[in-house]
Amino acid sequence: MIIKEYGTDKKDTIILLHGGGLSWWNYREVAELLQEEFHIILPILDGHTGSDRPFTSIEDNAKEIIKYIDENYGGSVLMMGGLSLGGQVLLEILSQRKDICSFALVESAMAIPSKITHAMIGPAFGLSYGLIKLRWFSKLQFKSLHMKKELFEDYYKDTCGIKKKDMISFLQANTAYELNEAINACQAKVHVYIGQKEIKGIKESAQKIQKKIPDSKLTVLPRLYHGEFSINHAYQYVDQVHKLVRGE
């Protein structure tokens, strides 16, 4: 597994899992702000630009990260966070290992399968994949994601580097993921965040996650779209990390 690290490993460790189609830079600003207090690990999920293996499944990514934590951190870390696909991987990790972290921050994770969207991904990307490498098309896609303008070059480079098979695979996994019932044994203090302008499926998923995980909390962020919290509002995100780990 390929990772990016910030801070020293002598500090408490936080692992942050990026969204689908993005990469470690999803959390770069957050990591830079947290590195003086914590050791930050940013794994590159399978199938994404810079990864060392193709994407297979959310469950396999979860097992890979659990193995990494077992081998390097004695089976647990202070906190884990995840956005979208990374949030799904995080939920699966918490389902497979109930005590792997003390705190978890799940952002904009879909936990209710969408059969129609899932069925459309293969044909849609089969026809449009070639457009991804055209800057004008990529700019249109980027604009729809509501990310800061200065992140476009990172976005463009990464989307151009993702293989067609991997792109289809992780998008299909994202739309097919269903919350593991074992999540109700999770011992971490979990906080779920979604934007007020998220799609209906994300909002319903957030409610489902909160209901399934004991003592978890749900916050709806005013005026924000999917993924904006960690990507565009790093200072606010870091503030919430501090409050979470301090029990505020």
What is the DSSP annotation of 54-109?
A: ----HHHHHHHHHHHHHHHHTT-EEEEEEETHHHHHHHHHHHH-TTSEEEEEEES-
Q: Taking a C-beta distance cutoff of 8 angstroms, is the pair 54, 162 a contact?
A: no
| pLDDT of the residue at 86 | 97
> pLDDT > 70: what percent of the chain?
99
The average pLDDT across 106-135 equals: 83
| pLDDT of the residue at 80 | 98
| pLDDT of the residue at 77 | 98
| pLDDT of the residue at 142 | 92
Encode pLDDT of 174-200 as tens digits. 999 999 999 999 999 999 999 999 999
What phi and psi, each to the nearest 5 degrees, are found at residue 16? -120, 130
CA dist 165 and 129 (Å) reads 10
CA dist 92 and 70 (Å) reads 16
- Contacts (Cβ under 8 Å, ≥6 apart) of 187: 98, 99
What phi and psi, each to the nearest 5 degrees, are found at residue 191? -120, 125
The average pLDDT across 162-166 equals: 91
Which fold does the domain 3-246 belong to in CATH? Rossmann fold (3.40.50)
For the chain, the average pLDDT equals: 94
Q: Taking a C-beta distance cutoff of 8 angstroms, is the pair 64, 97 a contact?
A: no
| pLDDT of the residue at 130 | 79
| pLDDT of the residue at 46 | 96
Counting every residue, how long is the chain? Answer: 248
Q: How confident is the model at residue 93 (pLDDT cuts 50, 70, 90)?
A: very high
What phi and psi, each to the nearest 5 degrees, are found at residue 240? -70, -35
| pLDDT of the residue at 208 | 97
| pLDDT of the residue at 133 | 84
The average pLDDT across 156-183 equals: 92
What phi and psi, each to the nearest 5 degrees, are found at residue 89? -60, -40
pTM to 2 decimals? 0.96
Closest by CA to 232, choosing from 143, 149, 108, is: 149
The average pLDDT across 113-127 equals: 76
The average pLDDT across 46-62 equals: 95
| pLDDT of the residue at 116 | 76
Dig out the tokens for 84 from the structure.
Answer: 């979208």
Beta strands in the chain (DSSP E): 3-6, 13-17, 39-43, 77-83, 101-107, 189-195, 217-221
Is a pLDDT exceeding 90 seen at residue 122?
no
Q: How confident is the model at residue 50 (pLDDT cuts 50, 70, 90)?
A: very high
Dig out the tokens for 118 from the structure.
Answer: 């899932």
Encode pLDDT of 207-248 as tens digits. 999 999 999 999 999 999 999 999 999 999 999 999 999 887
The side-by-side arrangement of strands in the sheet containing 39-43 is 3-6, 39-43, 13-17, 77-83, 101-107, 189-195, 217-221
Q: How confident is the model at residue 123 (pLDDT cuts 50, 70, 90)?
A: confident
> pLDDT > 90: what percent of the chain?
85
